[in-house]
Amino acid sequence: MPRAGLTPDRVVDAAISLVDDRGLDALTLAAVAERCGVAAPSLYKHVSNLADLRTLVGVRVLAEMTDRLAAAAMGRSGPDAVGSVMRAYRDYAVAHPARYAAMPVDPLHQPEYAAAGQRLLDVMRAALRPWRLSDAQMVHTMRAARVITHGFASLESAGGFGLPEDLDESYELLIQMYLTSLPLTHAAQES
């Protein structure tokens, strides 16, 4: 019988807490079991194995990030929405670098992550809707946003910016460069 109160969600909560505290490499069933106050075999009532737990953590991180990005875009449109999404992405990745590292690199091509990954893309696609991009343009445009947000946040989290200029100012310049690179369309000009 599973320990009273222990559920798959609580196991994932413990796993994420462990990742936040000690990094993604510290994620083991034994360490999560210890956090949950149970023996490692007790976890098998809630997760199949470590790979299953890593998947559940990755899905949760994708969902959290998507919720943050959607909240940032809510009530905004055009450049304001895109900029808000890009800021929210950076904020999440910098605030939770170890958790962010648990996010799969290519969620759309892994069945267990596909739905969560699609939701994340849908947020960015909605923010970019006023530009009326073709499907191919949309892919290229979303890839560029990902490179900017992921690259900047990853370098920032790793201490990769040693020069004294303000990081927020640098990031805002990148957002503006990105927005300027978007094709001018009648819909975007009206936003």
Whether residue 41 is found in the same domain as residue 63: no
From CA 12, how far away is CA 32, in angstroms rounded?
Answer: 9
Q: Which of 102-111, 123-132, 177-186 has the lowest mean pLDDT?
A: 177-186
Pull the structure tokens for residue 15. 């796993």
> Which CATH number covers residue 41?
1.10.10.60
Write the CB contacts of 62 (distance below 8 Å, at least 6 apart in sequence).
103, 104, 107, 113, 116, 117, 119, 120
SS (H, E, C) 17-28: HHHHHHCHHHCC
Whether residue 159 is found in the same domain as residue 128: yes
Number of domains the chain contains: 2
Whether residue 183 is found in the same domain as residue 101: yes
The verdict on residue 149 lying in a domain is: yes
Whether residue 96 is found in the same domain as residue 183: yes
* pLDDT tens digits, 68-127: 999 999 999 999 999 999 999 999 999 999 999 999 999 999 999 999 999 999 999 999
Backbone phi and psi for residue 152, each to the nearest 5 degrees, phi listed first: -65, -50
> Does this model's pTM top 0.85?
yes
Whether residue 63 is found in the same domain as residue 43: no
Whether residue 38 is found in the same domain as residue 82: no
* pLDDT tens digits, 33-70: 999 999 999 999 999 999 999 999 999 999 999 999 99
Write the CB contacts of 165 (distance below 8 Å, at least 6 apart in sequence).
none
* pLDDT tens digits, 135-176: 999 999 999 999 999 999 999 999 999 999 999 999 999 999
Whether residue 42 is found in the same domain as residue 65: no
Residue 16 has pLDDT above 90, yes or no: yes
Residue-range definition of the domain harbouring residue 64: 58-190
Write the CB contacts of 49 (distance below 8 Å, at least 6 apart in sequence).
29
Whether residue 23 is found in the same domain as residue 108: no
Whether residue 149 is found in the same domain as residue 68: yes
Q: How confident is the model at residue 188 (pLDDT cuts 50, 70, 90)?
A: very low
Asked whether the beta carbons of 174 and 152 are under 8 A apart, the reply is: yes
